[in-house]
């Protein structure tokens, strides 16, 4: 099985690659080749017992070698995140929408030459919805994005679903919750603070909280996100029919609950979180729904989520020391 990861230098891309290179298999299939594509080269890359190509370029001008003719599975993880897409409309459209168009074109070339339609696993987002803090959305809720990032992701879902209907590819479109705890450094996502209020105190650093303690978010751990991505790559899509999008079974958590989980793992760490309101961030994230029913995901075999305190423990076990090293901080 030959696999491409678009956005392979990102943290989820690296985690998927680590799983593939460690186990050498995707489901019941042996991995025989891997391509990682991103606009920068990943500084951290595991060794593999199969051929690996690491390519750098512009996803809107996706080179043929990024998606070779023999490709079986494509993880489309490349994205310009929410606050950055809001600040730079052209960049958000180029990566989030035109990059997806380029991927569809690559899959069309494969099928036009007689190849099997590749499985495409796409990371969409709960930012494709609005409704705010009081919303609990059902699986058939209408997507009404309240920011450019959400609009671009929703449009990309439609493009990929139509390409799947036409037989160019075989799509599974995952509407990811906010992923916490992200390793590394803060990024330009509007939701970046949700990881920061756990990650930075565990590093011994202060961080700002731009919303109140009662703010709730639909969240998921990196471990669970990788598990969902791998399941989506191998699941039977016949049962999905024409609707290839899935709201995933995360958990709804308030800031207060996140800080309680932090203190359960590292007593007193929440004292490093400073309440500094930021209306620009609040205006974006408070439009996002705080809870989903996600029944369809369970019937499709996507695993349920672990308790919030286990999310914090998993970051300590999986990513804390690597994050210290990446940021030049002394070991804990």
Catalytic residues: 149
Distances (CA, A) of 12 to 76, 176, 182, 184: 11, 12, 9, 12
**CA proximity to 225, closest of 97, 118, 100, 77:** 77
Could you identify the residue written with the tokens 């970051």?
A: 315
How many other CB atoms sit within 10 Å of the CB of residue 53? Answer: 14
CA dist 244 and 165 (Å) reads 9
| Bridge partners, residue 119, by sequence | 73, 170
CA dist 13 and 38 (Å) reads 10
Q: What pairing do the DSSP bridges indicate for beta strands 251-254 and 216-220?
A: antiparallel
């Amino acid at each position: 099985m030959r696999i491409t990861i678009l956005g392979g230098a990102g943290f989820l891309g690296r985690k998927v690659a680590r799983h593939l290179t460690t186990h050498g298999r995707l489901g019941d299939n042996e991995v025989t080749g891997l391509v990682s594509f991103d606009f920068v080269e990943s500084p951290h890359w595991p060794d593999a017992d199969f051929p690996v190509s690491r390519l750098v370029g512009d996803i809107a001008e996706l080179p043929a070698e990024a998606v070779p003719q023999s490709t079986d599975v494509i993880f489309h993880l490349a994205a310009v995140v929410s606050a950055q897409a809001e600040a730079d409309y052209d960049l958000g459209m180029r990566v989030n929408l035109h990059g997806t168009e380029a991927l569809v074109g690559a899959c069309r070339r494969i099928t036009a030459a007689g190849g099997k339609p590749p499985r495409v696993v796409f990371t969409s987002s709960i930012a494709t919805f609005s409704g705010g803090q009081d919303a609990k959305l059902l699986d058939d809720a209408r997507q009404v994005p309240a920011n450019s990032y959400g609009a671009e992701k929703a449009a990309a879902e439609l493009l990929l679903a139509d390409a799947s209907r036409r037989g160019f590819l075989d799509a599974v479109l995952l509407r990811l919750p906010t992923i916490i705890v992200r390793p590394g450094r803060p990024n330009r996502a509007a939701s970046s603070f949700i990881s920061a209020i756990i990650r930075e105190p565990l590093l011994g650093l202060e961080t700002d909280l731009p919303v109140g303690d009662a703010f709730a978010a639909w969240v998921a751990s990196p471990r669970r996100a990788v598990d969902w991505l791998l399941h989506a790559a191998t699941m039977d899509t016949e049962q999905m029919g024409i609707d290839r999008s899935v709201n995933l079974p995360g958990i709804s958590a308030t800031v207060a609950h996140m800080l309680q989980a932090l203190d359960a793992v590292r007593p007193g760490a929440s004292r490093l979180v400073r309440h500094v309101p930021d209306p620009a961030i609040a205006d974006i994230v408070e439009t996002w729904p705080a809870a989903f029913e996600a029944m369809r995901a369970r019937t499709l075999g996507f695993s349920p989520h672990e308790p919030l305190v286990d999310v914090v423990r998993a970051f300590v076990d999986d990513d804390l020391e690597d994050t210290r090293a990446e940021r030049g901080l002394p070991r804990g």
